[in-house]
């Protein structure tokens, strides 16, 4: 890990498109994941190459800054009628199998660049009709439909070392608590049905989907089974509240963190200029 402390990973959301923290003119403009999904629809092999190459290029940028964890890829599967402001072009597309395949290659590109990926947003944010930054989305689809669609990419990539759980209510499993604060969703769906045993982060607890103080939000996510709770506002008073209410990591969480850290490896040799030129060529050739 970076910053000279292996117990202190540095995270970022560098997805590409509208969720890009490192922007031009200092850093390259990054394609939205949907553009890569569109390329996959034209030529699957080229789309898979682009997914890995884009992730590898992002990892090279992050490595220079000492950032060793990128919260990508988005594995959500948008459906007609969902809110484009929530997921939209942040997703590779609406085909669960294509999302799984592209997500896998994006993870591989991260690993090759010495950065850990964080698959998100368990158990699937693609049906959200409201933005969880402002309010709590409710997914009321039946489980059999979710298993055929939304759940598919998360099951396929359940062997990844890190994942993030969303602030949304999954009524088919728990109609009272957001997934990030639901022991039923985390235990029975994420850990159970998906078989995910990686390090599980909450989404940012400062989002409007949750209620209560920052400390209470943190405590509820950890009590439900998240290994790590994310508080991203930088509000110092809230940080103190979170620290006062967050217990030490459990032995299980520490073991998952150790496995995630062990999955991090030194970047392989890489020609960034050639890689960027190749990615541009792929996207241009596809018409995406």
Find tokens 């049906």 and name the residue. 127
- The encoded tokens of residue 34 equal 């949907």
User: Which residue out of 131, 133, 171, 188 is catalytically annotated?
Assistant: 133
> How many Å apart are CA 206 and CA 45, to the nearest integer?
39
CA angle 165, 162, 244 (to 5 degrees): 65
Question: Is there a cis peptide before residue 42, judged by omega within 30 degrees of 0?
Answer: no
Q: Does a cis peptide bond (omega within 30 degrees of 0) precede residue 57? A: no
Q: Which two tokens stand for residue 242?
A: 């979170």
Residues in CB range of 251: below 8 A, 6 or more apart: none
203 is catalytic: yes
> Which pair of tokens denotes residue 41?
């629809």
> For residue 190, what are its two tokens?
């994420």
| Residue 13: active-site member | no
Length of the chain measured in residues:
288
| Annotated catalytic residue, options 61, 68, 89, 203 | 203
Q: Which residues are catalytic?
A: 133, 203
């Amino acid at each position: 890990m970076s910053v000279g402390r292996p117990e202190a990973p540095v995270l970022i959301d560098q997805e590409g498109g509208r969720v890009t923290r490192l922007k031009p003119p200092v850093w390259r403009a990054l394609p939205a994941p949907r553009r890569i999904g569109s390329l996959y629809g034209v030529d699957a092999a080229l789309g898979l190459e682009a997914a890995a190459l884009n992730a590898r290029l992002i990892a090279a940028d992050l490595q220079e800054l000492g950032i060793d964890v990128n919260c990508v890829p988005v594995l959500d599967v948008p459906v007609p009628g969902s809110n484009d402001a929530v997921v939209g072009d942040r997703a590779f597309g609406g085909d669960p199998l294509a999302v799984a395949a592209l997500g896998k290659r994006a993870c591989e590109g991260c690993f090759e660049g010495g950065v850990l990926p964080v698959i998100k947003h368990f158990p699937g944010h693609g049906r959200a009709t409201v933005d969880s930054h402002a309010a709590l989305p409710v997914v009321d689809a039946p489980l059999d439909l979710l298993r055929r669609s939304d759940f598919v990419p998360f099951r396929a990539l359940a062997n990844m070392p890190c994942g993030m759980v969303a602030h949304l209510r999954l009524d088919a499993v728990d109609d009272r608590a957001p997934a990030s604060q639901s022991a039923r969703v985390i235990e029975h769906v994420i850990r159970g049905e998906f078989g995910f045993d990686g390090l599980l982060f909450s989404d940012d607890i400062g989002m409007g989907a949750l209620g209560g103080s920052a400390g209470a939000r943190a405590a509820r996510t950890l009590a439900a089974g998240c290994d790590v709770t994310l508080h991203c506002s930088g509000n110092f008073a809230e940080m103190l509240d979170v620290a006062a209410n967050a217990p030490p990591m459990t032995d299980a969480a520490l073991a998952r963190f150790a496995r995630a850290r062990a999955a991090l490896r030194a970047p392989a040799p890489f020609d960034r200029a050639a890689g960027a030129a190749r990615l541009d060529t792929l996207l241009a050739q596809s018409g995406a």
